[in-house]
Structure 1
């Protein structure tokens, strides 16, 4: 940056320069200028009287000592200082004084230019070297299990119902495409008939490559699972096999059922998650690249005052990528009560599937999050509600990238949206539980009351998780922007203060008893003007430095937190409550880090002033004020926190599983056509 760049005219779109022009218009005519002219005129009259009295003193001193201006007054600096001081405060056209124009052109213009150049250099570096947000795809194993259910249901129903003329064609591996309406996206559906349900996904028009990648990934799953489902079809077509955990594992040992199904589901789910994550990251890279290039243009056009927008932009980008990666399919589960005489074989096959998954999971010591979907359908009420939430969180936590190699604020934002999505999944699951428990059979068994009681407890975890996610996704990213705005407002207030105080400062130049042109009486005001000039660039430097230190702090916190938190449990199992408490404490620490580090944006100019022996009336309380404002906003928003799950649902018509159907022989044998 050359010296002449400091005094270049900022662009008309520069926000900071627009503020300066509002306070000091270019045409020098405004009501504000007229008001100042009255004050300046009054000070000019006072200055003239001071000069008259000082002149009399100089004449007397000259006559008394025989030396021009006597011994007290400097013969060169004293007259120059008087002329300079009177010239500063005397109002000119429009009401402003020369000191005001000097502040605008000599102090404020370089202040805006150096802050803009500093911020632009930082933004260009980020746009060139920035790492895209890594999106996590949640629920791969659950999706695979749902597909297995559909495939086995149709395979067994066709094998058992073929003598009765039951012949529903299997869906194409790539699904059936349905065009969307004017305001809706197209969908791709895998329909297994009226009895065995269906599954469908949207095909986003704006992300066609991502939509095709997801469709191809599901097509590969269907092709692989259809082979395994055929084994179930031939085994259960006669309806004589009775499912028990022991019988299921014996059938696997005897090669009647496909071995390693749990591991296959886990592998297929991981492969699906990886494919979807890569596709979502590719879409994020496109959006992020375009967004960051626009951010560079915004930095050039709007100047340093848009500095706080960077993290908010990441929040919006992350919301898009997480929505792509974690979209849940629209699924219609198999309706076994409509399968008539061959409902028993299908029911036995699906029960055996769950027993086999559970048994192989215990034998292989798989992680609890890999196949949590396998037990959700037959679990208790609380697990049905909290299962989707813990599964999504487990996927996100296990796929978190190294904070030292990515954007830490972006990771926090992405994690926050995952938590909000997980809370939403839990709410939907809670609604399904209430619908399932709102029928005459559940009322007779007292299940409705149990569901309501458990749902009341689940609200605590769901509401806490939603609040933590909102803090991470929306509040923390806004803190830098809030502090940049506070710094800008503080700078504008300092300009107003300088506009008024500089007129009084001009009177200090009328003192003739100093041996220097800029003596102690004038030096203090000069340092305050210097502080006004440095405020914008100091705020930008504080933001850039806080970002770097924030990355190191978050990386260290992520490295130490699991050992520090889970090491305090004393060997006890840390379940969902421990996870929520851990996330709450970690979010509180992140909040403190943001306030302390990004608070320097507003506080650093005053703190630097103490290094230059410049007095400041700042109370260093901006960080506390922002904390109070943001906490109040969150508290206000939390009045509508998700978790207010209805305690009464729609009445469900239909029958459940009939445990008394079928033979009483607890074994699984190869079916015979």
Structure 2
């Protein structure tokens, strides 16, 4: 009998006896382990069955150490007792492993483990979203289901303003200029909204109905159990699982029991599985970006780095651009400056007085009234409609004045002419008569200088400075003498026979300014300083390309990160967007709209007289003496301007490596329209990410097609463009014009694929997959009560049984799909990049070998030269089209992984459940296919219209 005294009684009633309870909870029950080990030793004869350790009454009186020591004392080390040795060694090794595991467990408890930066240190961290208010997945789930206190996004929390991608609020936006505001449909004053209340009511009706049905099924099973008991004589029957059947019944009714908002427990399990799975994927996506940030030592935090070529990861996401052709602008400026001297000298020829617009040293002096100058003009009705681009104002001040003068306009009109009072009209903007030509320059960033991006400001400032440099500081002696040659009575200038016409001068200007443009756009390893009209412009190392990359567009900023895993694909659109902007702003060099008026009059008269005219000689006055409105004087000026203009063609400066005349008129015109070789060489920089290369080349193809096709159509309508080719081909201008439109449309279709479709594929596939996940959750919300009903079974093993197992897997799939989609996105980007990178390395060899051309043989000089099989410009054009198609197919195959990985991953668990998302056709693939068909149909329609216009 247990001895009870006063102390024990007082301790029992007055003290909580925590230590005895803890000791009983954690330290009792282990006394059986030595007894079981002794029993194992007894099997092989290490301990006799009569040993005290084998007596059950001694349990708790000895420990593991005693049993092992006793067995070791009786162990005989011989081959005859190898079974005893192996068993003894196995048990001892197992005990050592247990001790080591306990030590590791203690270490994990008392020592903080070192994880990679950003890895959660506990299970709660893995399923927590850092910024739930603006998480796209949570916002979408709140929009669809409207269940409070689950996802807590800005849709559900009306105190938090939802924002768009730019960080601006999406409600309270003014409409119709009336001051009224419109609220975003998913930002209501109360949450849940009325539509959500209706949905919850339906779910409530649905759950209660299934709960009634479950009661009926349960009643049926009771009758079944009674009947089987009576039939078999065995309690509950033979099929009844005595362990799991009662548990399943409790679980089934628990899952079907309504909780709140009209939803039952099973539906809340689905919602929380989606929430925790979304948080899990967000943690993984943020960890991926944090690790990239650490790998690049805090430089550009970009989710898609490539090989480091001495720059940052983001620098490799901006492709080098092909330099815009500057020769047409230089040729125009040469003719325009000749025109300026012509206007000055003709006044002297008339009056034999002072040379209007020319100072004593023979240079242009725009301060003299009536002289030709370069003006930035706008609507004639504006208070200050013209801004003189003089050579005395500092370039920074002049650029700031120009931007302020344009006041947000995106097109800058530059007139080279004479500013006169009383001539302001639609034709003479700003009161300037453009006798010497008209230029247009696209302003990519028209905001005030203080708000402009560094890259845009630098390009725009450089182009304005370049215009001023060419106008004031080049061509002086040469252009004067072209005019003086026609007005030989002028004795103030050089002798008639001293006309400067060196063939290398034009090439010198072309090479000098082309190098400056290349250093501006693509940069050098060190910074460069240009001097334009006495003003310095500093170009940083890496040029504008580096400025575009470092401008923050590629960084994973907090706004994008707050969108969570569902916003992972948003970043990849920036690659195409920024490369397209880079190409566009690079090509924003001033473009020629009209040549000097006398030259334009010559071209119009020749077109009227001959119907068609060679584009190369359209400004040559030839037999037009007496036909020009200015008579003999105008004819002499036209001759001087033509000689100045033709000098650039005669010297060979108008040629470039991609558009050099081949002797074949058709090839030359295709090159003029598209510039195929430069596009084809986009693969020359292997460090640039393929998406950047493709988007840059695609935008260049589109811009080249649109710009050149516009000029071709205008020229073709007046017979100026295609006469040369038609003479060489023996065909009509109408047929040739149709052919050229078809070629341009092909190039535009290839550019559409490379610039719009391929860079957009990650976003398309990811967002459609994200939408499929949402649809799968809705399916689960409807199917979860049925899953609960599947538990009401009396046979089978385990909690789920055979009927409910698929439901558990589907809920697990909802939890797992978000992070699998992120894995699919990263895998598709990596695989696509690797495929394109390898193809870039071998594509030249494939193209060369396709015609039998052997690069190695030609380089080594062995064998008979076979340069005739080398591909020409037309081949290059069609291979560019083929390249775009191949890359498109690669992209489609690669980005399907965003769907394929989540859809098929569960087979690794030996299960094959089909989700709602798996059964749908690939919507992203269908959209891309329809976009391709639409682009082709649109191209055909545009091409047909242009062909009709050119007839």
Taking structure 2 as the reference length, the TM-score comes to: 0.57
Separation of aligned partners in 1, 2:365 and 2:897? 60
Label 1:181 to 1:354 Cα distance change in 2 as closer, same or farther (>3 A): closer
Partner of 1:657: none
Label 1:500 to 1:340 Cα distance change in 2 as closer, same or farther (>3 A): closer
Partner of 1:589: 886
1:147 aligns with 2:431: no
1:369 aligns with 2:658: yes
Greater mean deviation of Cα atoms: 578-587 or 301-310:
301-310
Partner of 1:659: none
1:484 aligns with 2:484: no
Separation of aligned partners in 2, 1:232 and 1:647? 45
1:303 aligns with 2:564: yes
1:184 aligns with one of 409, 420, 432: 409
Partner of 2:465: 216
Partner of 1:115: 281
Label 1:322 to 1:167 Cα distance change in 2 as closer, same or farther (>3 A): same
Separation of aligned partners in 2, 1:642 and 1:528? 51
Please tell me whether the aligned partners of residues 437 and 595 of structure 2 are also in contact (alpha carbons under 8 angstroms). yes
Separation of aligned partners in 1, 2:241 and 2:948? 89
Separation of aligned partners in 1, 2:949 and 2:546? 41
For residues 375-390 of structure 1, the aligned pairs below 5 Å read 386-390=670-674
1:197 aligns with 2:441: no
Partner of 1:634: 935
For residues 304-323 of structure 1, the aligned pairs below 5 Å read 304-323=565-584
Separation of aligned partners in 1, 2:673 and 2:841? 24
Task: Note the C-alpha offset of 1:75.
Answer: 3.8
Separation of aligned partners in 2, 1:188 and 1:633? 35
1:354 aligns with 2:624: no
Please tell me whether the aligned partners of residues 402 and 555 of structure 1 are also in contact (alpha carbons under 8 angstroms). no
Separation of aligned partners in 2, 1:634 and 1:402? 29
Label 1:614 to 1:285 Cα distance change in 2 as closer, same or farther (>3 A): farther
SS of the residue 1:8 aligns to: coil
Task: Note the C-alpha offset of 1:499.
Answer: 1.9
Partner of 2:502: 257
For residues 465-544 of structure 1, the aligned pairs below 5 Å read 465-544=747-826
Task: Note the C-alpha offset of 1:385.
Answer: 5.7
Separation of aligned partners in 1, 2:143 and 2:647? 76
Partner of 1:20: 141
Task: Note the C-alpha offset of 1:424.
Answer: 1.6
For residues 29-108 of structure 1, the aligned pairs below 5 Å read 30-55=197-222, 72-105=239-272, 107-108=273-274
Separation of aligned partners in 1, 2:933 and 2:486? 62
CA RMSD of aligned residues (A): 4.4
Aligned length, in residue pairs: 620
Separation of aligned partners in 2, 1:103 and 1:479? 30
Could you list the runs of 5+ residues in structure 1 that have no partner in the other structure? Answer: 241-250, 651-673
Separation of aligned partners in 1, 2:128 and 2:288? 20
| Deviation sequence 1:416-459 (CA, Å, 0-9, x none) | 111111112222321342354389x99xx9x9x94333211111
Please tell me whether the aligned partners of residues 673 and 709 of structure 2 are also in contact (alpha carbons under 8 angstroms). no
Label 1:211 to 1:532 Cα distance change in 2 as closer, same or farther (>3 A): same
Greater mean deviation of Cα atoms: 170-179 or 405-414:
170-179
Partner of 2:379: none
Label 1:168 to 1:464 Cα distance change in 2 as closer, same or farther (>3 A): farther
* Larger of the two Rg values belongs to structure: 2
Separation of aligned partners in 2, 1:348 and 1:239? 15
Separation of aligned partners in 2, 1:583 and 1:351? 33
Separation of aligned partners in 2, 1:452 and 1:159? 43
Label 1:347 to 1:528 Cα distance change in 2 as closer, same or farther (>3 A): closer
Please tell me whether the aligned partners of residues 442 and 589 of structure 2 are also in contact (alpha carbons under 8 angstroms). no
For residues 561-600 of structure 1, the aligned pairs below 5 Å read 561-570=843-852, 571-572=868-869, 574-600=871-897
Higher helix content, 1 or 2: 1
Task: Note the C-alpha offset of 1:255.
Answer: 9.3
Label 1:643 to 1:215 Cα distance change in 2 as closer, same or farther (>3 A): farther
Task: Note the C-alpha offset of 1:325.
Answer: 0.7
Separation of aligned partners in 1, 2:476 and 2:683? 34
1:402 aligns with 2:685: yes
Task: Note the C-alpha offset of 1:326.
Answer: 0.6
Please tell me whether the aligned partners of residues 784 and 807 of structure 2 are also in contact (alpha carbons under 8 angstroms). yes
| Deviation sequence 1:368-411 (CA, Å, 0-9, x none) | 43667xx9xxx9996886454333x44444465524x2232122
Separation of aligned partners in 1, 2:946 and 2:435? 30
| Deviation sequence 1:221-272 (CA, Å, 0-9, x none) | 55664267369649956789xxxxxxxxxx99x9962546435523432332
Greater mean deviation of Cα atoms: 543-552 or 633-642:
633-642
Partner of 1:670: none
Could you list the runs of 5+ residues in structure 2 that have no partner in the other structure? Answer: 1-119, 149-191, 293-299, 303-312, 367-372, 377-386, 388-401, 419-433, 448-455, 490-496, 524-538, 603-629, 853-867
Task: Note the C-alpha offset of 1:490.
Answer: 1.6
1:133 aligns with 2:318: yes
Task: Note the C-alpha offset of 1:581.
Answer: 1.6
Label 1:45 to 1:148 Cα distance change in 2 as closer, same or farther (>3 A): same
Task: Note the C-alpha offset of 1:495.
Answer: 1.3
| Deviation sequence 1:626-655 (CA, Å, 0-9, x none) | 4433333324543543674366689xxxxx
Please tell me whether the aligned partners of residues 406 and 412 of structure 2 are also in contact (alpha carbons under 8 angstroms). no
Label 1:58 to 1:199 Cα distance change in 2 as closer, same or farther (>3 A): closer
For residues 592-631 of structure 1, the aligned pairs below 5 Å read 592-612=889-909, 613-616=911-914, 618=918, 621-622=921-922, 624-631=925-932
Separation of aligned partners in 2, 1:492 and 1:229? 72
Separation of aligned partners in 1, 2:575 and 2:878? 26
Label 1:484 to 1:525 Cα distance change in 2 as closer, same or farther (>3 A): same
Please tell me whether the aligned partners of residues 338 and 483 of structure 2 are also in contact (alpha carbons under 8 angstroms). no
Separation of aligned partners in 2, 1:282 and 1:545? 31
